[in-house]
Amino acid sequence: MMSGREEYILSLFQPEDSVLRDVREVIRKRGMPDISVHPLVGAFLTFLARVHGSRDILEIGALGGYSAVCLARALPRDGHVVSLDINPDYIAVARANLHHAGLENRVTHVVGAAENSLDSLIGEGKRFDFVLIDADKENYPVYLEKTLEILRPGGVIAADNTLWRDEVWDPAVKGKTVEALRRFNDMVARHPRLESLLWPVADGLTLARYRGRV
């Protein structure tokens, strides 16, 4: 549930339009997890990718296509999104939702374990301006290291859910997910090639700019 503060911001600046509401409804009707990015995060991703001038965007974790719609809307005419997900059923839903949004030609989906797909992209010499990490949390540290192999200097990383139910700062909370996110946030904060920030919106959004190799 959104807070009154979040509802006020969205009502003024970036309301969730009918297309994005339709995407959420399709995800709900299909019985998929209700874990798409928060509407405020989605609006911010569109804004950030557009201001950054991103042309080549990588999304790690497709789910039903909500965040892909947000990212694809920010693209210039020659821009493209590559979206990774291990679940072919999710990708089928994402493709249908992107078609509904009129953006199906802006997004290519890759089915398979994200770590393997990233290795393939690295091997192909692919490069990206913007990477959204929003998949299995236990592998966030792995995805970060591989992302740095394909991100252009000046590129942006955004990672969702990095406050994880407000549990990451409580040392009494244990478990693979929260411990992986603590490690991820620490890696981003201390990495010599990254300028970073953890923004306390929704469930936490970690942001970083890649300086390039130093």
Averaged over successive runs of 10 residues, the pLDDT of the chain (214 residues) comes to 82 86 96 94 96 98 98 97 98 98 97 98 98 98 97 98 94 94 97 96 96 78
Q: CA 50: distance to chain centroid?
A: 15
- For residue 167, give the H/E element and its range: none
Sheet holding 107-111, edge to edge: 107-111, 80-85, 56-60, 128-133, 151-160, 205-210, 194-199
DSSP for 3-40? -HHHHHHHHHT----HHHHHHHHHHHHTT--S-SPPHH
Looking at residue 103, what is its pLDDT?
A: 97
CA distance 159 to 137: 10
Instruction: Give the number of domains in the chain.
Output: 1
CA distance 110 to 10: 32
Range of the domain at 84: 4-210
Q: Domain containing 175 — which CATH number?
A: 3.40.50.150
Looking at residue 214, what is its pLDDT?
A: 60
State the pTM of this model. Answer: 0.95
Tokens of 156: 């942006």
